A and B are shown apart, each in its own frame.
Chain A
Amino acid sequence: MQRSQILEQVNRYLRDNYVVSVEPDLPHLLVGPDLLAGGNGRLAAIFTPKSTELRAPDQLITRFVLSRLALPKHAKCILIVDPERHTEPFISQVGRSFHQTIEVRELPSIRRIVGDSVNENIKPVADRTRQQVYARSNLLFEEASTRLQVQRNRRPAREVLAEADFRLEDHPIENFRWFQREGYRGQDRFEQITQWRSSIFLSAQRTENRRSLGDDLRQFFVFSVQMDYQLDQGVPYLDDNRFYRYTKLFIANALPAYRQDPEKYIRCAAFAGILVIQANSMNEVESLGNTVLERIRGELR
């Protein structure tokens, strides 16, 4: 069954009893759950894999992790799979993180499933984790928002990034991965990401095109989230060593605006642990990175 058909069916089964939002646009998420259903104080976030996520399961888990952090802690995350389109290894690999994984043939029971109690094997995200994530997010957002308002006439982001000389391929990047790369040829390769002076990870906008900005950011999100969190039975735990040791900067060509919510890109990036900046040189980037890292260490530790 096609993804759109799955969402249409879920909507049809739930809409009489729940307030349903298909492809909800949430302020902290560039890509969130596929459907959000709220009613009687219950909240369900429904996910079903996109075709790109079948080749790169870390993309699906990234949007799941960020959604868990952005939504109220009682939100129930449900994954819908179609055994005719999704392989068994894929389902078992990603499915264990969700409160519940169901097959498309179970869709007629979705109303009961949403109303059932949350699977207690999946613990809630720790309050401390949520507090740290929001605190860092707010700090990065305010920093980006303030700086980007006053910056003009900057060099193209790729030119600035070209000054960085240490490619990430030389770094043991696989240490940051949740999944083994084997069997997932299309998995994000983090080719656009560069490390600078050991504590700063960088990526940059490739073209002026707004759609490419979203794509570039999303790829960096996948990296950033895997770097920040250890995932255990669907619960993201912040890795303190990495949280306070590294900072992640995205160099944009201009203040990236999102229709109807001008600061959405920088807010979502901040929530994913990334500071969006403009810069003229790597010296400037380094200085900014160090300033932000010191603030995070000083104010959040």
Chain B
Amino acid sequence: MSVYKRRISAMQALVAGTVIAKDHISLVTIKNEFEEVRKVEKMKPLPRRRLLQLLHSTRALDSFLKGFTDFYAIRGSNHALGEYLNCLGTHTNPHLNKLPNGRAKYYRQKIVDRRNIYMHKAGAFPNDEKEILTLLSEMQTCLAEVASL
């Protein structure tokens, strides 16, 4: 089995094993987004594939964090990745640990800022293979870290 398939299936199992699974619709859509990340793995040209992988990964992460913060009733009124990360670091829910100091900032720099370039700027394609793989991995690491809080 390919390394990437093992990573994607691990993310799907992890999400299904968290509180998000209580919201069946969210669970299915997140699982499908991850499936798309894997399905486009052989698509060409490479920049288009990476852009799609980025899009599906970010939607999976966004939806997971939204569902997670909703479940613990710690989300503010904004729907944004940076906002979810803030809430995870500053909330007061005694049933959930906080995202450690600096981690929200770290993920904002490594994920939100970089992702926004490709999502919002016309003509921006991820050409640097290493940079995009690192960005995708940071998203998966963020999801795994939040799931373990």
Known contacts: A41-B22, A130-B97. The answer to whether A23 contacts B17 by CB under 8 A is no
Q: Say how far A144's CB is from chain B's closest CB, in angstroms.
A: 14
Distance of A53 Cα from B7 Cα, bound (Å): 24
Structural contact, A39 and B21, CB atoms closer than 8 A: yes
Distance of A108 Cα from B93 Cα, bound (Å): 40
Contact pattern, A 69-103, Cβ under 8 Å of B = 1, otherwise 0:
01111110000000000000000000000000000
Distance of A267 Cα from B49 Cα, bound (Å): 25
Asked whether A20 is an interface residue with its Cβ less than 8 Å from the other chain, the reply is yes
Instruction: Identify which of A57-65, A134-142, A243-251 touches chain B.
Output: A134-142
CB < 8 Å: which of B3, B6, B144 contacts A70? Answer: B144
Structural contact, B19 and A41, CB atoms closer than 8 A: yes
Among the interface residues A38, A41, A70, A138, which one has the most CB atoms of the partner chain B within 10 A?
A38
Instruction: Identify which of A177-185, A205-213, A214-222, A254-262 touches chain B.
Output: A254-262
Asked whether B31 is an interface residue with its Cβ less than 8 Å from the other chain, the reply is yes
Structural contact, A19 and B3, CB atoms closer than 8 A: no
Q: For B97, list chain A residues within 8 Å (CB).
A: 127, 130-131
Known contacts: A25-B6, A71-B148, A138-B100. The answer to whether A260 contacts B16 by CB under 8 A is no
What would be 7 A-B contacts, judged by CB atoms less than 8 Å apart? A19-B15, A22-B6, A37-B13, A40-B21, A43-B17, A135-B100, A267-B141
Given contacts A23-B1, A257-B130, 13 further A-B contacts (CB under 8 A): A19-B15, A20-B9, A21-B13, A25-B7, A27-B7, A38-B12, A38-B17, A39-B21, A40-B22, A41-B22, A43-B13, A138-B106, A262-B137
